[in-house]
Chain A
Amino acid sequence: MAISPTEVRPEPASFRDPANRVFHVGDEVLRGLDPQAAAHWRALTGSTFFPALVAARKVCATEDAPPTLVPAATGTPWAAVLRHERIPFVSHPYEWSFSMLRDAALLHLEILTAALGEGFTTKDGSAYNLQWRGAQPVFIDIGSFEPMRDGEPWAGYRQFCQTVLYPLMLTAHLGVDFQPWLRARVDGIEADELRPLFNGARRLRPGVLTHLHLHGAMQHRNAAASTTEVRDQLRAAGFSRELLLATVRGIEKLVGKLDRRPPESHWSDYQRTCGYSARDRVAKEQFVAVAVAAGTRPRLVLDLGANDGRYSRLAAGHADYVVAVEQDPTVVDELYRQLRSEGQRRILPLVLDLADPSPGGGWRGVERAGFAERASADVVLALAVVHHLAIGRNVPLPEVIDWLAGLTAPGGAVVVEFVHPEDPMATRLLANKPAGLFPDYRRDAFETLLAARGRITDRLELPSGTRTLYRTVMGG
């Protein structure tokens, strides 16, 4: 759907804090501020820590914009409007790997510590305050900064526990992937949901006794007390900024300690075991490089089933940004760690099951946009994935191609590999299904379906003769 360059679209995820609201106008990301939020913004721009964090690219670049650009919800114009740097691809914490969530957490705490040092705090502590530029986390919620009030603890602590700390503890201490838990609950994991899993000796794992059990028990004991009352009591009892800093330092130390020794996964060794000959690999790499580079330079490439990121890296040489999607959290974590060590800012690895991609979530199912709503790529790479969907997951072949077309921007291209039924990998998958279940899983049928939805501009059968690559301009 074409978007008018002047149409103002409120961001569905930005409504919880009425003091400010994010809007999209064309490609621009704007934020309206009420008078108090505008005063906080002025104070922020006068601080030392904030410009330093922006310069270090840890906080998204933000500037003043004309207040007339966006309408106010109440009819009163916004006191100020900000223009934010655009994040190339918005992702959700349940699409991140363990190390991604941990690095995002450490950045949030680093930013909070820097803010506290100059008398500011963050109103909240959500994992959703962060986004990514490739393998670099970036804090995006400028509206979260406000002057701190002496004697008060961090208002975002509970949210931080629910959306960051508990998911990390779940994976680090129990070896359970946190992604399905976070995906199921927009507000994260409640202490009460997690406490039964941390019984016996597991109570003694780092952070469990205090941040989970004691925290959960305190929530019950103080359920009737208002936060205003408790804030006054804490202030009167001598809660200080130094104490708050010590608490944040303690959380930072704990998060730094949480680690995961992942089990060896089938997919983590895929490139070595997937049965490509050296000649196949060279031919495939050449085809993909030429296919991505053909036409105008892509702004966004989606690499579906990215595995170790070999083709994402190749695509990044010819495109502005690559989103590398892979189902296995262990593989994504490994890829992320490599990209991070390279300082990569143009490849974003994400955890996503292609046959069960992130749906819309939160309020009315639109607060967190589903993967299909966010994905509109100039080039979609679907290398060695069609057989997994069509045979492994029984998705009808026409639907697989329709889905690929749906992820492609108008005039964009799909670079797809069809694994012939005779190929050893396809044979292995077919052996698990009744004979004759997929009579249409044939190269000629696939090609006919592809041609009906776009214009096949390039075609290459790999030297082994059991795989064919296509570049198709969709709708072309």
Chain B
Amino acid sequence: MESKEKLLDQLAQAVVDMDTEAVEAKSKEVIEAGIPAFEAIATGLSVGMKRVGEMWSRMEIFMPEVMGSVDTYYAGMKLLKPQIKVSEHATYEATVIMGTIWGDIHSVGKDVAIPVFEGENFRVIDLGLDVSVEKYVAAVNEYHPEFVGLGTYMSETFLHVEALVEEFKAKGIRDKVFIICGGPAVDSEYAKKMGADDAWNDAWEAVAGMKQLLKQKRG
């Protein structure tokens, strides 16, 4: 049996290498070794996604490889997530509901952001693509998240943020959540002008920004 550290490092590296077979094999070994699933995700799979982020920032890998790593991450999650014990759930940093805003059917950014957020201890509820404002409102009422994440991949649909903010105000839920935007078409300054809290170009930048927002709120 490999040492725990070595096993988790191999799990992380399998994500970087987009090696689904390896990630599945290592996830099974983790379970058999009795390593807590939450720990395996946080210090194995998610460390892999962090390395992917670093390589992305250094332009060593590009979107196809990032997508490959995301899929490998999910292959590991499929095995590890059911093993998370109830007591481990208490450690979530915050809850994020995420979706691609209505009128937009792109999912690249959201698909990458979800594992990165999960890796940073955020609980993510994925609402899918082309999500209507009504669906966002219903999800806020159901899950009571700290964040509402809007994937907007075209400048056209980025402009929908303003309508969503207005609807949230009308429903009395605007001040209960941070509204954040992500995607290549977003702009922080204009997102704030439309009433959102912030916007970031990639998932790793978003994590830092979200933690900052939480810190400001929690003092």
* B is bound to A: no
